[in-house]
């Protein structure tokens, strides 16, 4: 299928600002799904609230645009009801890790077979540029005019500690590897987390004097490196990209099926 | 017959009824005094191949049942006051997206943590206006386990018929009290199954275009129709819209589909009402004390009756007004500061003849409590 066959033309134009990274993520997600030969009827996309969450409306899957922070809780209800369906949950950094932080760690702990994509642009864009739990110390935002005193989460470490069985990071600059990582994440059985550094030139970029969209993409190129690379050893400040963890761990819906068998056996005896 | 007789708690009766109604999915979070519902379903649902999940919090439980319902499963959660507060945003989402589901609130005392094991009926107004924005909602209740069973089944039927969340508003006494229940035979109570679209694959399906009768046939997530569900104001495809005509039409539809069917959703019971000049109005466990008193006074020749409400929302304004027209006094018996009394006053249009007998201390209201108020009303002193 062509990329356009995954897009709901009726929904266009989209709301994303010129230069926003979210369109790059959407385009690559479509390519990953196309490469995996998944059927559109078998995909349920659940999102919360925020710029990134609008992605669900644009794509021609079963789409559930929910309330702020709770996408993973809705997705858990869908997945447990229909384990045969492929669940993809794109979220923003605020949606996933501030208001939705609790659902994020518990979905990871259950290792339920859902792919969580965190489009991390370090800011609340839809509401006009307030700092998020991923903005970082010293950054400027409309609610941190004197510099942010909140430290940022490390999504990769958080997801691993909470029990996610697939954890990866990439950026909107690294398009080819993003497609591969998304494919791997969707194929992986268990809770998969993909953090994608995405640019917000409108708010985070402009407030923090990072230049335009191209400048931020170049920043992603310069400030990130492959996991365990020589560059990382030379400059520990660099952010690592790639697949951090990919392991086999009992998946929640599979475990639930065992409960059903036990319950039915106990009832029969 | 004998093997259908049970002696159980109201919370257990609620589980039996939900399973009878076809419950397939439950998500919950532990909270007193409703936890027995989750505990029992953790055994019973997997036995029938249904789904049970204990979520990380109350909000997640509400969200999970909405997701499950969209795949076609009859879904329920259960909670009490503090948890019910937490679920409100997602209840509003279910109203806006028209997803059938049932929410049990076994009420306990007070605002905040309050009296976790004390009885109260203080959440009547919260079931009506707990979530933000103009909306309609259905709230049902019962005073004994046989009625609780029937009304629980009806909650699922109304949820499916009108594509709406339905609140089952019980109280701590009803939830924990043990009494006899005769399990209805399969088929004794009619069940409403989900209305699904007959639109074929490849034909444009309009998930939010009401039929002439106001109903909206659904298509299960994972089926042949892919559509969008959103809490934003949306058009007939489920796509967000800020078109004023669409916004107005949606608001009217969401309210009218409930308020326009008050009669079909009105459940009430009448005791000794024919010639009553003093009418007690009550619901839930407090209706038991009210009935006890009415029977006592009847035995002494007083013309007293009881109107027991099982539908609290939409409030059965006409039914209450008609039945109370001839009464000299109307005494609302409830365990709160007069939440239903205010509705009765509005319905009757004669506020001076409406009185309140209540308790607020987490202790069950007794026939004597009601009798004391009645003596004051009747000018007999205490």
Provide the CATH number for the domain around residue B288.
3.40.50.920
> Residues B176, B316: one domain?
no
B221 — contact with chain A (CB < 8 Å)? yes
Distance CA B382, CA B380 (A): 7
Torsion of CA A48, B62, A164, A53, to 10 degrees: -10
A145 Cβ contact partners less than 8 Å away, ≥ 6 residues apart: none
**Residues of A whose CB is below 8 A from B222:** 41-42, 44, 62, 82, 84-85
A5 Cβ contact partners less than 8 Å away, ≥ 6 residues apart: A60
Q: Which of B155, B182, B209 is the last residue of a domain?
A: B182
Distance CA B88, CA B297 (A): 42
The string of pLDDT tens digits covering residues A76-134 is 999 999 999 999 999 999 999 999 999 999 999 999 999 999 999 999 999 999 999 99
**How many independent structural domains does chain B possess?**
2
> Residues B12, B141: one domain?
yes
pLDDT for B159 beyond 70: yes
Nearest CB among A41, A46, A263 relative to B226 is that of A41
Task: Label residue B382 by pLDDT band (50, 70, 90).
Answer: low
Query: Does B111 map to a domain?
Result: yes
User: Which of B63, B206, B238 would you mutate first to test chain A, the one with the most A CBs within 10 A?
Assistant: B63
> Residues B63, B165: one domain?
yes
Tell me the residue range of the domain where B44 lies: 2-182
Closest chain B residue to A260 measured between Cα atoms? Answer: B46
CB atoms B51 and A103 under 8 Å: no
For residue B326, count CB atoms less than 10 angstroms from its CB and return exposed for 0-12, middle for 13-18, buried for 19 or more.
exposed
A64 Cβ contact partners less than 8 Å away, ≥ 6 residues apart: A44, A45, A46, A47, A56, A71, A74, A75, A78, B67, B70, B221, B229
In chain A the first and final C-alpha atoms are separated, in Å, by: 52
What's the confidence (pLDDT) of residue A268? 87
If DSSP codes are grouped into helix, strand and coil, which group holds residue B152? helix
Nearest CB among A76, A106, A256 relative to B67 is that of A76
Nearest alpha carbon to residue A119 among A50, A217, A46 = A50
The string of pLDDT tens digits covering residues A6-27 is 999 988 999 999 999 999 999 9
pLDDT for A225 beyond 80: yes
- The token duo for A193 is 């987390």
pLDDT for B1 beyond 60: no
- The token duo for B214 is 């106001």
CB atoms B230 and A46 under 8 Å: no
For residue B303, count CB atoms less than 10 angstroms from its CB and return exposed for 0-12, middle for 13-18, buried for 19 or more.
middle
Nearest CB among B56, B63, B72 relative to A77 is that of B63
Contact call for residues B139 and B123 (beta carbons, < 8 A): no
What's the confidence (pLDDT) of residue B140? 98
Give Cα A199 distance to the centre of its chain. Answer: 14
CB atoms A77 and B227 under 8 Å: no
What's the confidence (pLDDT) of residue A134? 98
> Residues B276, B138: one domain?
no
Domain at B158, CATH number:
3.40.50.970
Contact call for residues B331 and B305 (beta carbons, < 8 A): no
> Residues B43, B150: one domain?
yes
> Rounded to a whole number, what is the largest CA-CA distance in chain B?
75
CB atoms B60 and A256 under 8 Å: no
Work out the minimum CA distance from A225 to partner chain B, whole angstroms: 36
Distance CA A22, CA A3 (A): 16
The string of pLDDT tens digits covering residues B94-140 is 999 999 999 999 999 989 999 999 999 999 999 999 999 999 999 99
> Residues B273, B171: one domain?
no
Distance CA A96, CA A94 (A): 6
A246 — contact with chain B (CB < 8 Å)? no
Region B71-98: mean pLDDT is: 98
Query: Does B211 map to a domain?
Result: no
Contact call for residues A87 and A46 (beta carbons, < 8 A): yes
> Residues B26, B174: one domain?
yes
Q: Which of B166, B182, B198 is the last residue of a domain?
A: B182
How many CB atoms within 10 Å of residue B273?
Answer: 17
Distance CA B162, CA A249 (A): 42
CB atoms B25 and A66 under 8 Å: no
Give Cα A18 distance to the centre of its chain. Answer: 21
> Residues B9, B118: one domain?
yes
Q: Which of B125, B157, B182 is the last residue of a domain?
A: B182
ipTM: 0.97
B271 — contact with chain A (CB < 8 Å)? no
**Residues of B whose CB is below 8 A from A106:** 55-56, 60
Work out the minimum CA distance from A74 to partner chain B, whole angstroms: 5
Query: Does B204 map to a domain?
Result: no
Distance CA B113, CA B97 (A): 31
Chain A / chain B CB contacts < 8 angstroms = 131
Query: Does B119 map to a domain?
Result: yes
pLDDT for B2 beyond 70: no
Region A233-254: mean pLDDT is: 98
A267 — contact with chain B (CB < 8 Å)? yes
> Residues B165, B289: one domain?
no
CA angle B106, B110, B112 (to 5 degrees): 95
How many CB atoms within 10 Å of residue B319?
Answer: 19
Query: Does B317 map to a domain?
Result: yes
Contact call for residues B20 and B184 (beta carbons, < 8 A): yes
Percent of chain A scoring above 90 in pLDDT: 97
CB atoms B228 and A57 under 8 Å: yes
Contact call for residues B227 and B204 (beta carbons, < 8 A): no
Kindly list the structural domains of chain A, giving each domain's residue range(s) and its CATH number in brackets, ordered by start. Answer: 3-268 (3.40.50.970)
Query: Does B313 map to a domain?
Result: yes
Query: Does B283 map to a domain?
Result: yes
Query: Does B252 map to a domain?
Result: no
């Amino acid at each position: 299928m062509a990329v356009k066959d995954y897009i709901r033309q009726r929904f266009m134009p989209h709301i994303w600002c010129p230069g926003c990274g979210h369109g790059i993520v959407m385009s690559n997600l479509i390519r990953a799904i196309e490469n995996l030969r998944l059927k559109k009827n078998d995909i349920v996309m659940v999102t919360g609230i925020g710029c990134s969450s609008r992605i669900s409306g644009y794509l021609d899957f079963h789409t559930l645009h929910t309330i702020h922070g709770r996408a993973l809780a809705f997705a858990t209800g869908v997945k447990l009801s229909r384990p045969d369906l492929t669940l993809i949950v794109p979220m923003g950094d605020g949606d996933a890790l501030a208001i939705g932080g609790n659902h994020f760690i518990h979905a990871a702990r259950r290792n339920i077979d859902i792919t969580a994509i965190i489009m991390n642009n370090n800011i609340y864009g839809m509401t006009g540029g307030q700092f998020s739990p991923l903005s970082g110390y010293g950054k400027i935002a409309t609610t941190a005019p004197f510099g942010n005193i909140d430290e940022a989460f490390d999504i990769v470490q958080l997801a691993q500690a909470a029990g996610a069985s697939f954890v990866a990071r990439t950026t909107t600059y690294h398009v080819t590897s993003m497609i591969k990582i998304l494919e791997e994440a969707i194929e992986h059985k268990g809770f998969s987390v993909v953090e994608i550094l995405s640019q917000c030139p409108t708010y985070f970029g402009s407030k923090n004097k990072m230049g335009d969209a191209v400048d931020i993409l170049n920043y992603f190129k310069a400030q990130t490196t492959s996991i365990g690379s020589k560059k990382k050893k030379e400059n520990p400040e660099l952010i690592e990209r790639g697949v951090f963890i990919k392991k086999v761990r009992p998946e929640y819906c599979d475990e639930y099926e065992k409960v059903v068998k036990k319950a039915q056996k106990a009832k029969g005896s | 017959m004998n093997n259908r007789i049970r002696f159980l708690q109201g919370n257990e009766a609620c589980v039996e009824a939900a399973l009878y109604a076809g419950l397939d999915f439950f998500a919950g979070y532990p909270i007193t005094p409703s936890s027995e519902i989750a505990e029992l379903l953790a055994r019973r649902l997997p036995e029938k191949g249904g789904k049970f999940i204990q979520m990380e919090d109350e909000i997640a439980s509400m969200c999970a049942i909405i997701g499950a319902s969209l795949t076609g499963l009859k879904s329920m959660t259960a909670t009490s006051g503090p948890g019910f507060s937490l679920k409100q945003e997602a209840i509003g989402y279910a109203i806006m997206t028209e997803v059938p589901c049932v929410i049990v609130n076994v009420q306990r005392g007070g605002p905040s943590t309050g009296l976790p094991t004390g009885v109260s009926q203080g959440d009547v107004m919260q079931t009506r206006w707990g979530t933000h924005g103009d909306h309609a909602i259905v709230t049902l209740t019962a005073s004994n386990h046989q009625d609780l069973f029937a009304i629980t089944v009806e909650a699922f039927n109304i949820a499916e018929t009108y594509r709406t969340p339905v609140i089952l508003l019980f109280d701590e006494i009803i939830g924990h009290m043990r009494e006899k229940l005769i399990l209805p035979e399969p088929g004794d109570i009619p069940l409403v199954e989900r209305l699904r679209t007959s639109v074929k694959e490849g034909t444009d399906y309009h998930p939010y275009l009401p039929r002439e009768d106001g109903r909206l046939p659904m298509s299960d997530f994972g089926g042949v129709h892919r559509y969008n569900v959103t809490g934003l104001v949306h058009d007939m495809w489920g796509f967000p819209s800020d078109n004023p005509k669409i916004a107005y039409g949606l608001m009217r539809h969401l309210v009218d589909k409930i308020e326009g069917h008050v009669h079909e959703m009105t459940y009430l019971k009448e005791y000794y009402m024919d010639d009553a000049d003093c009418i007690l109005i009550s619901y839930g466990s407090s209706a038991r004390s009210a009935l006890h008193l009415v029977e006592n006074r009847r035995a002494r020749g007083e013309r007293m009756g009881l109107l027991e409400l099982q539908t609290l929302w939409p409030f059965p304004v006409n039914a209450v007004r008609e039945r109370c027209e001839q009464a000299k006094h109307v005494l609302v018996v409830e365990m709160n500061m007069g939440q239903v009394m205010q509705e009765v006053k509005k319905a009757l249009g004669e506020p001076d003849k409406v009185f309140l007998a209540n308790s607020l201390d987490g202790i069950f209201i007794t026939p004597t409590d009601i009798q004391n108020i009645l003596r004051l009303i009747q000018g007999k002193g205490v």
